[in-house]
Amino acid sequence: MRNAEIAAAMTELATLYELDGAVLYRVLAYREAARVIEQSPVSVADLAREGRATELPGIGATLQGKIVDLVETGEIPAAAKLKARFPASLVEVTRLPGVGAKTARRLYDELDVTSLDDLRAAAEGERIQAVKGLGAKFEATVLGALDRLGEQGAPGRLLLSKVLPVAEQLAAALAEHPACDRVAIAGSARRRAETCKDIDLIATATDPAALATALVEHPLAAQAGSGGESGARIVTFDGISVDLRIVPPQAYGNLLQHFTGSAEHNIELRERAVRAGLSVSEHGISEVETGKVERYAREEQVYERLGLAYIEPELREGNGEIAAAAAGELPELVEISDLRGDLHCHTTLSDGRNSLAEMAEAARERGYSYLAITDHSASHGFGDHVEPDALRARIEEVAAYNAVSKGRFRLLAGSEVNILADGSLDYEDELLEALDWVVASVHTSFRMSGERMTERVIAAIENPLVDCIGHLTGRLIGRREPYDLDVEAIAEAAAANRTLIEINGNPNRRDLSERNARLAAEAGVAICVNTDAHGVDTLSNMTYGIATARRAWLGKRQVANTRTLNALLKLRGRRP
Ligand code: DGT
Ligand code: CA
Ligand code: ZN
């Protein structure tokens, strides 16, 4: 039995326990076990049979026993018992984005919902809004999620943060193989899109069949598809499809260009080529009249032959990049190494996982010269909130840290304050004035008209004590729609008041979106790219924030936190 199947059984058991109302730590323990099992490089079935699954972190004797039951009998008795009570179609309901097990159980108890079909009927019959605590907005969310299921099929698209590390791991493994000449990530992952359908890899090899076999036999490969001279296709343990294409070295540039896409970009490129009497394909560029084919080992040569400057992959979306390349007007895109600091992160004072000192140390290790500590404010809805006295103590702590670090690296004493429903903030002005850096975000009362939400955010932008707006639209990619906002009006207000707007690098958010970020920058808003890290590990989410900045065509100058701290602080409306 494959690790992926065991992990899936553990995830299902966690959901069943949750439906049954089990204590949270038990549910979380099974979810964590599923993650560990899925990522184990060795067979967990073999380990369990030898009584050694307990060597894996988070797996104790009980779980070891359950894995043995599963491997030997094909099912876990505890799961079988719960399945007799809760139909399998109810487990599907728990997986619908925005629902979850607790809500599914309420829908089951109160409305007899046992399947997605029941759920749709209940939503369409406006019966969900009658359930206390769910409401009309939730009912609309359910209908939206059901419609999206219909549109794109159950698995949906995968976040870049799920796909990219796997793509990089596989590319690195192939690069090390003796038969490998060159290998690159192509497709939407190379373009750093928000979501990806799959991983596309391109390679050249001295022995193509051997390289294809290396992918098929890679420990991450759950189901080996085909492998041969021209490439291989696998599905990883966590369900990501991977396509490897192995090509002759003389056409590597053509292939990489073609399979990087996007389809829209390639179509426009071909149209341009046709007007010049050329035909572009993955195999080369041919002259229509003579039939002469040219192949290029480097991607740059493909663009050069078409009279274009090299176009960075993040721009290849058919948003005007070809015309800009032809006119020599492409922006020089910001790079992650241009950043000098991060202006939004959390510590254990609110809902973060690391201390101020640990976050500071990690930021210094990344080569930053400043970091704003912005724990959640007093009325925050989840995790610990920070009372005014605690924030005053934090300001002292930051001052003490900076006194010792002698100006080479500076912490900014900050806060991520809530923009309340009426546009006011949840600390007194006097306290906000004592802070070095104030991020203001919407975290509560999402349900209001676009007009009122826009007024609410603009009130915060106009507040002279606000330096930056956090995750403007509140969207969660694939899970929660952005609030209804007039982004143009907001950008205009932010530019006029010299309030920054962040690109939040959390890969679930990437908010501003690339479209909004481009719009805001063009309106003259200073953009900063932040991680909103809740621990030292997620300071690396800058990768995704920068990906969005680049996809928004932003250059170094438009990204405020590429500047020195003094220059950055001069950009904002309030005191320098
Ligand atoms: P995805 O996988 O949906 O996240 O997005 P992509 O862009 O990775 O799309 P994918 O994997 O279907 O194909 C990779 C690239 O190959 C795509 O960006 C452009 C190129 N390509 C694939 N099929 C076609 C096609 O039918 N026409 C054109 N013009 N290009 C194609
Ligand atoms: Ca793809
Ligand atoms: Zn936030």
Lowest mean pLDDT among 95-109, 136-150, 378-392, 562-576: 378-392
pLDDT at 195 exceeding the cut of 90: yes
Ligand 1 closest atom vs CA 243: 11
Contacts 24+ apart (CB under 8 A), 493-497: 493/458, 493/461, 493/462, 494/461, 494/469, 494/520, 494/523, 494/525, 495/523, 495/524, 495/525, 497/461, 497/462, 497/464, 497/573
pLDDT for the residue 229: 81
Lowest mean pLDDT among 69-78, 227-236, 497-506: 227-236
pLDDT for the residue 391: 95
pLDDT for the residue 190: 98
Q: Which two tokens stand for residue 205?
A: 């090899």
Query: Which residues have C-beta under 5 Å from ligand 3, the single-atom ion?
Result: 441
If you take atom 9 of ligand 1, which residue's CA is the nearest one? 187
If you take atom 17 of ligand 1, which residue's CA is the nearest one? 261
Contact 248, 174 (CB under 8 A): no
Q: Which two tokens stand for residue 458?
A: 């603009």
The confidence band for 153, taking pLDDT boundaries of 50, 70 and 90, is: very low
Secondary-structure class of domain 336-569 per CATH: alpha beta
- Phi and psi angles of residue 392, each rounded to the nearest 5 degrees, phi first: -60, -40
Contact 197, 160 (CB under 8 A): no
Ligand 1 closest atom vs CA 196: 4
Superfamily for domain range 251-326: DNA polymerase, thumb domain (3.30.210.10)
**Sheet with 278-281: strands ordered across:** 278-281, 284-287, 293-294
In the chain, what are the domain boundaries? 3-152, 158-246, 251-326, 336-569
Q: H/E element holding 287? A: strand 284-287
Q: How much distance in Å is there from the Cα of 197 to the middle of ligand 2?
A: 5
Give tens-digit pLDDT for 17-39: 999 998 888 888 999 999 899 88
Does this model's pTM top 0.85? no
Lowest mean pLDDT among 121-130, 131-140, 367-376: 131-140
pLDDT at 285 exceeding the cut of 70: yes
The confidence band for 444, taking pLDDT boundaries of 50, 70 and 90, is: confident
Which ligand is closest to the CA of 506, given by its number?
3
CA distance 99 to 205: 47
Q: Is 187 in the pocket of ligand 1 (CB under 6 A)?
A: yes
Lowest mean pLDDT among 251-255, 382-386, 520-524: 382-386
Contact 243, 233 (CB under 8 A): yes
pLDDT at 322 exceeding the cut of 80: yes
CA distance 71 to 6: 8
Q: Is 335 in the pocket of ligand 1 (CB under 6 A)?
A: no
pLDDT at 528 exceeding the cut of 90: yes
What does DSSP assign to residue 185? E
Q: How much distance in Å is there from the Cα of 303 to the middle of ligand 1?
A: 18
What does DSSP assign to residue 488? H
Q: Is 452 in the pocket of ligand 1 (CB under 6 A)?
A: no
pLDDT at 380 exceeding the cut of 60: no
The confidence band for 102, taking pLDDT boundaries of 50, 70 and 90, is: confident
Cα torsion through 31, 34, 40, 46, rounded to 10? 140
Say yes or no: do domains 158-246 and 336-569 share a fold. no
Q: How much distance in Å is there from the Cα of 235 to the middle of ligand 2?
A: 13
| Strand 500-504 relative to strand 527-530, pairing | parallel
Q: How much distance in Å is there from the Cα of 249 to the middle of ligand 2?
A: 22
Fold designation for 3-152:
DNA polymerase; domain 1 (1.10.150)
Which ligand is closest to the CA of 263, given by its number?
1
Lowest mean pLDDT among 68-77, 144-153, 537-546, 565-574: 144-153
pLDDT for the residue 96: 84
Q: Is 259 in the pocket of ligand 1 (CB under 6 A)?
A: yes
Contact 555, 368 (CB under 8 A): no
pLDDT for the residue 381: 52
At residue 537's C-alpha, the angle toward residues 533 and 542, to 5°, is 55
The confidence band for 576, taking pLDDT boundaries of 50, 70 and 90, is: very low
Q: Is 267 in the pocket of ligand 1 (CB under 6 A)?
A: yes
Q: How much distance in Å is there from the Cα of 483 to the middle of ligand 3?
A: 14
Q: Summarize the confidence of residues 511-529 as an average pLDDT.
A: 98
Task: Report the CATH number of the 158-246 domain.
Answer: 3.30.460.10
Lowest mean pLDDT among 230-239, 286-295, 465-474, 497-506: 230-239
Mean pLDDT (the chain, rounded) = 92
pLDDT for the residue 405: 85
Per the model's pLDDT, the better-predicted residue between 481 and 339 turns out to be: 339
If you take atom 23 of ligand 1, which residue's CA is the nearest one? 263
If you take atom 5 of ligand 1, which residue's CA is the nearest one? 188
If you take atom 11 of ligand 1, which residue's CA is the nearest one? 187
pLDDT at 536 exceeding the cut of 70: yes
pLDDT at 119 exceeding the cut of 70: yes
pLDDT for the residue 152: 46
Q: Is 313 in the pocket of ligand 1 (CB under 6 A)?
A: no
Give Cα separations from 94 to 121, 137, 271 (angstroms): 16, 18, 46
Q: Is 437 in the pocket of ligand 1 (CB under 6 A)?
A: no
The percentage of the chain sitting over the pLDDT mark of 90, rounded to a whole number, equals 75
pLDDT at 154 exceeding the cut of 70: no
